[in-house]
Chains A and B, each alone.
Chain A
């Protein structure tokens, strides 16, 4: 049973470009969470999605960031017009329900040059 998959593992973007991060949850999991980890800090919640629905986006920056979890395919975290402050590790986690353990992917390290 494959774990949570994230790609790419490393992504380099220049300021002003768009970044797309993908997350495929574990088989049978329909709940996806995105977290961001800035250097030397803990993980911060960004958004919680179920298939075709955003349930909680209280941690998402108001501008430039968006997320989706379509009926088919992976969940996508999209960052438009990236800035240097967006450089971080972005982790996706999935679970069978909001009450169960979250299993994390290996993360995507975004570097903005």
Chain B
């Protein structure tokens, strides 16, 4: 079974600085997707970024980028120029790729609470 681990329960960053959130996963599959979701105090789950395992290039979305190390099964999120609105809980998630056994369900890590200091 696949597992996702976020070993940092809490992180803090100064406004305008850069912070990296860690995520590791375990799988025997070769085709899968990885995601970072943001959950602000409103509790709405917001998709931040997505990475396909078959792509070597790291995904980037504005100030958010990932460092995807497939061999190490590591998927970290870097937030540049941190803003107060980035304060939230961040979840790493895994989803199997195409295949008869794939139902598309997401497997989430435990989450990392990010505090942004003004």
A interface residues with partner B (beta carbon < 8 Å): 31, 33, 35, 41-45, 48, 55-56, 59, 89, 91, 93, 95, 97-99, 101-104, 106-107, 109
B47 and A59: CB pair below 8 A? Answer: no
Closest chain-A Cβ to B82's Cβ sits at a distance in Å of 22
Contacts of B53 in A (CB 8 A): none
Which residues does B use to contact A, with CB under 8 Å? 4, 6, 37, 42-47, 50, 91, 98, 102-111
Q: Establish whether residues A43 and B104, one from each chain, have CB atoms under 8 Å apart when the complex forms.
A: no
Is the beta-carbon distance between A99 and B98 smaller than 8 angstroms?
yes
7 shortest A-B CB distances, which residue pairs? A98-B104, A104-B45, A42-B108, A56-B103, A45-B105, A43-B108, A42-B110
The answer on a CB contact under 8 Å between A48 and B91 is: no
By CB atoms of chain B within 10 A, which of A31, A55, A98 has the most? A98
> In the docked arrangement, what's the CA distance between A31 and B42, Å?
24
CB distance from B55 to the nearest CB of A (A): 15
CB < 8 Å neighbour of A56 from B46, B105, B108: B105
- Tell me whether A42 and B109 are in contact (CB under 8 A): yes
User: Among A45, A56, A93, A104, which residue has its beta carbon within 8 angstroms of that of B107?
Assistant: A45
- Cα distance A104–B109 in the bound complex, in angstroms: 17
Say how far A48's CB is from chain B's closest CB, in angstroms: 5
Give the distance in Å from the alpha carbon of A107 to the alpha carbon of B110 in the complex: 18
Contact indicator A59/B105 (Cβ below 8 Å): yes
Q: Measured between alpha carbons, how far is A101 from B104 in the docked complex, in Å? A: 9
- Whether A95 touches B108, Cβ cut-off 8 Å, given contacts A101-B47, A101-B50, is no
Smallest CB gap from A109: residue in B:
B43
7 A-B contact pairs sorted by A residue (CB < 8 Å): A35-B106, A41-B110, A42-B4, A43-B45, A45-B105, A55-B103, A93-B106
A106 touches B110 (CB 8 A): no
Is the pair B42, A33 in contact by a Cβ cutoff of 8 Å? no
Beyond contacts A33-B106, A41-B110, A98-B102: 11 other A-B pairs, Cβ-Cβ < 8 A, are: A35-B106, A42-B6, A42-B108, A43-B91, A45-B105, A56-B105, A59-B105, A97-B104, A99-B102, A106-B43, A109-B43
User: Which B residue sits closest to A42, measured CB to CB?
Assistant: B108
